[in-house]
């Protein structure tokens, strides 16, 4: 058996990011051949994945990629909070989002993993398995979103929340600020007509009963209730909410002044559909 030098072990560790002893054992098993050693390490990692399959993956983060023509979000889960903040994990979810946006698209995690990564000669699946092998936790890809066209997008600093606002218009900076607003205020719907009618009717009934108890004239109650529903709409509807950066204006007014038409929005929070 050829001598396994410290420099060979170090070189393999730099390529794989795995512990020195794992790299040394793999090189010994491979007779000093680094390519065979990498394959041995990959198979070892797959065994780890199989053992950890089924473990709860309650933590994670969202990856975001956005440019003027397309935007993508990817949700990636892991087993523990520290891993969700780890550099390798953050890099991986960013890679997934980038390829989802720039590639042909994907409707499932498997479709996405079979696509190329930014590293020459490697698929996303290779990066995914290599990262699992280094971190030794179970991973799971959750939701995927790809939006064609102009959007404002915002990812919270810890990767736990994100929003995408699809627009017609050119001021994508304001569109991004509206996406930040969505993350902060979590509206229920874009406009009043998008709200669940049952939710609105329930609120109307509550307000009607409260107004009646105040002793208001019966014939005026419907008009009073409709006026009071404005507060309800300002809580639930994005266009009616006071804009977080300028509460004197509604989000709808801010968009209008920026020459934007709000088409649709998405709000994600890790683990909450």
Residues of the chain with pLDDT under 70: 1-2, 45-54
Express each pLDDT in 239-265 by its tens digit: 999 999 999 999 999 999 999 999 999
Query: And the tokens for 28?
Result: 């010994």
Kindly list the structural domains of the chain, giving each domain's residue range(s) and its CATH number in brackets, ordered by start: 6-51 (1.10.8.10), 54-149 (3.30.479.20)
Express each pLDDT in 84-111 by its tens digit: 999 999 999 999 999 999 999 999 999 9
User: How high is the pLDDT of residue 48?
Assistant: 64
Which sign, positive or negative, has the C-alpha torsion 40, 46, 50, 55? positive
N- to C-terminal Cα separation, the chain? 55
CB 97 within 8 A of CB 61: no
User: How high is the pLDDT of residue 18?
Assistant: 74
User: How high is the pLDDT of residue 47?
Assistant: 65
Task: Compute the half-sphere exposure of residue 60: CA atoms within 13 Å on the CB side of its CA.
Answer: 25
Q: Are strands 70-78 and 140-148 parallel, antiparallel or unpaired?
A: antiparallel
Q: Distance of CA 113 to CAs 4, 76, 119, 182, 186, Å?
A: 34, 12, 14, 30, 31
User: How high is the pLDDT of residue 7?
Assistant: 79
Q: Distance of CA 36 to CAs 25, 47, 195, 233, Å?
A: 12, 17, 58, 63
User: How high is the pLDDT of residue 70?
Assistant: 97
Query: And the tokens for 212?
Result: 């009646």
User: How high is the pLDDT of residue 137?
Assistant: 86
User: How high is the pLDDT of residue 42?
Assistant: 76
Global confidence as pTM: 0.81
User: How high is the pLDDT of residue 11?
Assistant: 79
Question: At a CB cut-off of 8 Å and minimum separation 6, what does 72 contact?
Answer: 63, 64, 65, 66, 97, 98, 100, 101, 144, 145, 146, 147
Rounded Cα gap, residues 29 and 12, in angstroms? 14
């Amino acid at each position: 058996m050829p001598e396994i030098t410290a420099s060979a072990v170090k070189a393999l560790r730099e390529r794989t990011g795995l512990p020195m002893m794992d790299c040394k054992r793999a090189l010994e098993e491979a007779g000093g051949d680094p390519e065979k050693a990498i394959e041995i390490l990959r198979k070892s990692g797959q065994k780890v994945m199989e053992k950890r399959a089924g473990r709860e993956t309650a933590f994670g983060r969202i990856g975001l990629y956005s440019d003027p023509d397309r935007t993508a979000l990817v949700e990636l889960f892991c087993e523990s909070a520290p891993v969700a903040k780890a550099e390798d994990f953050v890099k991986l979810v960013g890679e997934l989002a980038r390829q989802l946006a720039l590639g042909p698209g994907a409707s499932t995690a498997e479709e996405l993993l079979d696509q190329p990564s930014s590293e020459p000669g490697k698929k996303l699946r290779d990066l995914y398995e290599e990262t699992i092998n280094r971190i030794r936790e179970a991973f799971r890809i959750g939701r995927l979103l790809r939006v064609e066209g102009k959007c404002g997008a915002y990812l919270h600093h810890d990767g736990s929340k994100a929003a995408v606002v699809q627009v017609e218009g050119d001021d994508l900076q304001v569109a991004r600020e509206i996406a930040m607003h969505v993350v902060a205020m979590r509206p229920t719907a874009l406009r009043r007509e998008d709200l669940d009618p049952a939710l609105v009717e329930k609120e109307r009934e509550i307000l009607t009963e409260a107004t009646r108890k105040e002793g208001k004239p019966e014939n005026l109650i419907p008009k009073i209730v409709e006026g009071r529903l404005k507060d309800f709409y300002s809580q639930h509807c994005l266009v009616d909410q006071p804009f977080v950066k300028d509460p004197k204006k509604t989000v709808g007014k801010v968009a209008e002044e920026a020459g934007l038409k709000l088409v649709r929005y998405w709000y994600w929070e890790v683990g909450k559909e």
